[in-house]
Amino acid sequence: MDGDRAPVLDGVARRYLAYRDSTPVPPAEDGIVRAMPVVLRIERDPLPGRTPLLAAAATAAVALCVDRRSQPGGEWHDAVSGWVDRRIRKIARRARGAHWRAVQELPGVTVEIDGAEARALLPGPVDGVAREVSRLQIGGTELEPDDPGDPPAGAPLVLLNPHVTMTVGKAAAQVGHATMLLGATHGWPVAEPADVPRCAVRTPDAGTWARLCDALGGPDPVAVRDAGFTEVDPGTVTCLATADAGRW
């Protein structure tokens, strides 16, 4: 993508690079727990594919961050900067039917990939979410593993840890973290949602995962290390992200 980088992600890049280089800078905390709601569209019939749904969630999260409205002077900037300057928590919820249609009226970005849809909503305090969001379930429906084949050449790629089992909601949050780190460290520019590259998500074999982990320490790939609040142990690398699927 061409254009000026999205400045709202600068703090994310600084914290990630400091952590990578073993000089961690703890994010500022003001006592308010903030999160980005990520709503996954999971209808009863047909169910979406697990992989395209995660790809839609990954793309939607970073698309909201590089949106012009999230940059200084934009109407979303205060909400987004107040969140990215602290911990980039995400809470995935599922919706269908009228509940899915209702969240389209809230500020955010919807992405569709191969028939699967996810909407990243404007982040804010977790105890102050809109009724349209709070009524949605966080857990519940699981999706069977699928076989999506090779990722599109040149696409940003998120690779899930093959040694870790995560629910679709947990995985959706993690891949959203990964694309934000990728966008932050690679200087993704301000872009309209339709112009943000569609990210791919895959689960590699153990050998590929080990090779990628050995490459950590440079600008690519980037790694998501989970805080360990749910499902996985603290410090677990849940996923890696690379700017170009063809490189790996």
For residue 194, pLDDT beyond 80:
yes
Mean pLDDT of 119-138: 96
Given this model, what pLDDT does residue 1 score? 55
Q: Which amino acid is at 209?
A: W
pTM for the full model?
0.94
- What is the per-residue pLDDT across 86-97, written as a single tens digit (0 to 9) for each? 889 999 999 999
d(CA 122, CA 130): 11
Given this model, what pLDDT does residue 169 score? 96
- What is the per-residue pLDDT across 144-180, written as a single tens digit (0 to 9) for each? 999 999 999 999 999 999 999 999 999 999 999 999 9
d(CA 193, CA 69): 11
Given this model, what pLDDT does residue 16 score? 83
Helix, strand, or coil (residue 154): coil
Determine what percent of the chain is predicted with pLDDT higher than 70.
94
Work out the mean pLDDT of the chain and round it to a whole number: 92
- What is the per-residue pLDDT across 39-74, written as a single tens digit (0 to 9) for each? 999 999 999 999 999 999 999 999 999 999 999 999
Given this model, what pLDDT does residue 246 score? 84
- What is the per-residue pLDDT across 75-114, written as a single tens digit (0 to 9) for each? 999 999 999 988 899 999 999 999 999 999 999 999 999 9
Checking DSSP bridges between strand 237-242 and strand 157-160, what pairing results, if any?
A: antiparallel
- What is the per-residue pLDDT across 8-29, written as a single tens digit (0 to 9) for each? 999 888 888 876 655 555 555 6
For residue 193, pLDDT beyond 90:
yes
From residue 171, give the alpha-carbon distance in Å to each of 79, 98, 236.
24, 25, 13
Nearest CA among 244, 185, 242 for reference residue 209: 242
